[in-house]
A and B are shown apart, each in its own frame.
Chain A
Amino acid sequence: MVQNPPLKKEILMPKILKAFIGSYGLVFVILIFCIPVTIIRPVFWSWGNLSNILVQMTVIGVLTMGQVFVLISGGGGIDLSVGSTLAFSAILGAGLIRNSGFPVWAGLLVTLLTGIAVGAFNGLIITKIKISPLITTLAVQTAVRGLVMIYTGGADVTNMPRAYTDIVSKGIGSISWSVVITFAIFFITMVILRYTRYGRELYAVGGNEYAANVSGINVTKIRIAAYTACGLLASVAGIITTARLYTAGPRAGTGMELTAISAAVIGGTSLAGGKGYVSGAVLGVIFLQIIDNTTNLMAIPAAYVSALKGAIILGAAILDRIRSSDKFK
């Protein structure tokens, strides 16, 4: 008989810490990346600039959490529709507030429900009719963007009321509510993935859907929930975007789905499913934001930045490949 080590009582706190520093390799890369900007433009480290980075990373941060759910759920899980969902849900709510006299809270509720509806629709098509997530969400991306254009006629909904924009302009001390909300979402996502039955079952479904099914897990339900969460988070990102710009625009969120997927992948979430961490994904978001911010401070032309980002995403994927290869073990 095997002798097992005595049972250790596990404490919650260090584990959370561990989860956050789990991908310290990425922390290291980020710090190295900050060296040139520290020398050339020390203003990078000012509170003003850092809080700016925090506010700017909120939208992508929230969208990335959605992708983490969907990517972990496996079966080719990916959601390309979030950029359109962001615009659609935000503009529906904003339009009701500005044009139909809805109170702000009701408008926000409509926005969130719209996000949930689009996400659940994705999930239903993908699981029940078994269309690949790539095709489904690509189609929904195109169609929903069309709906936005039909609804607005291409015009912005401007002059959002104070109560709405306070989400970004007010906060706790000098930290904007949008930043607080974003970090709360990071935390909740991490807790769901690590400590709940849903999280455990999500990893199981992504890791091996057949084994999960045989173990009595309702694979369909778990996946629909993942897409629904992703849609909900897209609408939250829509609210933050609108509050920041005082305006809900029909082109908001364009291309953001790919940035969010990149951030998740840089942070070690697997496109094959069953693997992914909030800590890594958040670092991925921070990394992409810092690239934007530092290159901006150093006045590097956008074309170079784009090339650099592409190289970094590829580099992250290659690193992940090396890390998970047999030789490395």
Chain B
Amino acid sequence: MAKEVILEVSDVGKSFPGVNALENISIQFHKGEVHALLGENGAGKSTLMKILAGIHTPDSGTIRLRGKEVFFNKPKQSMEAGIGMVHQELCLCPHQTAAENVYMGRSPVNKFGFFDWKKLNADAQQIFAQLDMDVRPSDVVGNLSIAKQQMIEIAKAASMNASIIILDEPTSSVTEEERLALFNMIRRLKEKDVAIIYISHRMEEILEIADCFTILRDGHFIVTKPVEGITIDEIITGMVGRTLTYVEHEQSSGQDEPVMEAKGLTRRGVFENISFNVRKGEVLGLAGLVGAGRSEVARCIFGLDKMDSGAIWINGRECSIHSPRSAINYGVGFVTEDRKMDGSVLEMSVQENITLPILKTICKAGFINKTRDHLIARQAIENYGVKTPSPKQKVVNLSGGNQQKVIIAKWLTTNPKVLILDEPTRGIDVGAKNEIYKMINELTAKGLAVIMISSEMPEILRMSDRVIVMREGKITAEIPKKDATQDTIMRFAIQ
């Protein structure tokens, strides 16, 4: 590792009222390296990144850029010094073109002081070509996939000659192919000697793309190491501070009667002839690439979208599900993919969220029985280990893992027979993931049938009794647990 140090953080500390977010953090970042920053949620990763991006100012310690001490007060100063940050939530103008977004606020003008479209598009084209991007300068950003938008953000940073680019969970919502394209782009940036700081919860990716990694835990520096020769287990141990083995799913007998059967579900142009069943106490894994139509099948089963043909049978009877309400009445629960978008009402309390689907049952003449409302919520909070100071706490104030538990608790209070989990652990840290797995195990032990959609292969392999693989709207394979490997699943998902 003879690469030159470009950015050095020494003894940086930062506290917010009531919390020491960071204490004595010292890290060196090298030119042309991908440096992964790891830690559970709340470990201090984002605080550190916000300090580097000039959003927060450190209470103590120094930051040296190319050997010179720097102090950022505003994001603009950090940007001008050559640090580009790509946030998890993208900040592009959706109605403008890729080129306009890349040169936002720095548009070239011709000698008459008018906007120079030609130069703008030519410059953008050059950057996109350098980074191997499949984007045209004239593409309207809002029409592009999330992954491409992300690439435009990165191109924007690169166009400012950033020597350090921070990527915050760039792959949390992209398909496998797009991820590969993104990694390709990252490698191009490396060749140009750009230092990349990479934040992700996906361990497999770290091993693939990063050169070295630093672990933070509870605001403290734990270790910086090269990635070579390290295992995921070692990384996780460093992150949680103890040896953590994921719970395994105890296999169900596979002999129980099917609770739910899908027969020939079709939604034209989306998925076709989807048939499967899920048994009592079983976890049925739904694997495939993002865009294979898995979430869409789930949405139809739950009555959110209409299907063109097919039938759903629950407990041996055909059901006519035409709205979420009727799905709930038949005993189906649905933990959606996007927690923030349609998982919970963030501004409402934990209690109000938990009892939302069952208000009817705790009402008399339209009035909510507040005592029962409170009791049911408290019971659920206790049973499912939701960490909240009070049932009255707003969901928005909870951590991602706890928000997810609130959503699962909400569905369990409806007494479902089948629970559909769509990406149940996306964006959740390692410790909380494990708790969600435990929760699933307890539920299947009690006879609940679970359909789990996941794009994380290890999760599918760990938790499923059976795996169904989907590709382009069709089921391509059904694999029992003993035959399921990453390779077989991937093969059916791609070809």
Contact = CB atoms under 8 A, between A and B. Distances in A.
9 contacts: A2-B387, A2-B388, A4-B382, A195-B368, A196-B363, A196-B368, A211-B341, A213-B324, A214-B343
A274 interface: yes
A10 B356 CA distance: 20
A208 B342 contact: yes
A275 B396 CA distance: 14
Nearest to A212: B345
B476 to A, nearest CB: 28
Contact of B345 (A9, A195, A197, A208): A208
B388 A216 contact: no
A192 to B, nearest CB: 9
A74 to B, nearest CB: 10
Interface of B: 302, 304, 323-325, 327-328, 334, 336, 341-348, 352, 356-357, 359-360, 363, 366-368, 370-371, 374-375, 378, 381-382, 385-388, 390-391, 410
A218 interface: yes
B359 A197 contact: yes
Contacts of B360: 197
A211 B346 CA distance: 9
Nearest to A9: B371
B368 A7 contact: no
Contacts of B323: 216, 218
Contacts of A274: 345, 347-348
A200 B352 contact: yes
Contacts of A275: 347
Q: Which of A1, A208, A214 has the most CB of B within 10 A?
A: A214
A153 interface: no
B385 A2 contact: yes
A5 B391 CA distance: 10
A214 B381 contact: no
A264 interface: no
Contacts of A79: none
A210 interface: yes
Contacts of A217: 325, 356
Given A195-B367, A197-B359, A217-B356, 9 more contacts: A1-B385, A2-B385, A7-B375, A207-B345, A208-B344, A212-B356, A216-B324, A218-B323, A218-B325
B378 A7 contact: yes
Nearest to A3: B382
Contacts of A204: 345, 348, 352, 356
Contacts of A211: 341-345
A317 B367 CA distance: 33
Given A207-B347, A212-B356, A215-B410, A200 B368 contact: yes
B385 A208 contact: no
Nearest to A274: B347
A196 B368 CA distance: 5
A119 B408 CA distance: 37
Given A7-B374, A213-B324, A200 B346 contact: no
Contacts, number: 94
A215 B357 contact: yes
Contacts of B371: 9-10
B57 to A, nearest CB: 15
Contacts of A210: 341-342
A5 B389 CA distance: 9
Interface of A: 1-2, 4-5, 7, 9-10, 195-198, 200-201, 203-204, 207-208, 210-218, 274-275
A176 to B, nearest CB: 30
A4 B328 contact: no
Nearest to B343: A211
B371 to A, nearest CB: 8
Nearest to A8: B374
Contacts of B348: 203-204, 207, 274
Contacts of B387: 2
B324 A214 contact: yes
Contacts of B375: 7
A4 B363 CA distance: 25
A223 to B, nearest CB: 15
B17 to A, nearest CB: 10
A128 to B, nearest CB: 15
Most A-side CB within 10 Å, residue of B348, B352, B363, B382: B348
A73 to B, nearest CB: 13
A2 B366 contact: no
Residue in A198, A213, A216, A274 with the greatest tally of chain B CB atoms within 10 Å: A216
A69 to B, nearest CB: 15
B9 to A, nearest CB: 25
Nearest to B355: A200
B48 to A, nearest CB: 19
Contacts of B304: 213-214
Contacts of B346: 207-208
Contacts of B381: 2, 4
B359 A200 contact: yes
B390 A5 contact: yes
A207 B385 CA distance: 25
A196 B342 contact: no
A10 B363 CA distance: 17
A212 B342 CA distance: 8
B359 to A, nearest CB: 5
A304 B345 CA distance: 43
Contact of A197 (B366, B388, B390): B366
Contacts of B345: 203-204, 207-208, 211-212, 274
Nearest to A2: B387
Nearest to A201: B359
Nearest to A12: B370
Contacts of A196: 363, 366-368
Nearest to A273: B347
What 5 A-B pairs come out closest when comparing CB atoms?
A210-B342, A207-B345, A216-B325, A215-B356, A208-B345
A223 B413 CA distance: 26
A240 B343 CA distance: 44
A218 B303 CA distance: 12
A63 to B, nearest CB: 24
Contacts of A214: 302, 304, 324, 334, 336, 342-343
Contacts of A207: 345-348
A131 to B, nearest CB: 21
A10 B359 CA distance: 19
A216 B391 CA distance: 22
B342 A198 contact: no
A266 to B, nearest CB: 20
Contacts of A195: 367-368, 370
Contacts of B386: 2
A200 B352 CA distance: 8
Nearest to A270: B347
Contacts of A201: 356, 359
Contact of B370 (A4, A5, A10): A10
Contacts of B344: 208, 211
Nearest to A204: B345
Nearest to A15: B370
Nearest to B347: A207
B354 to A, nearest CB: 10
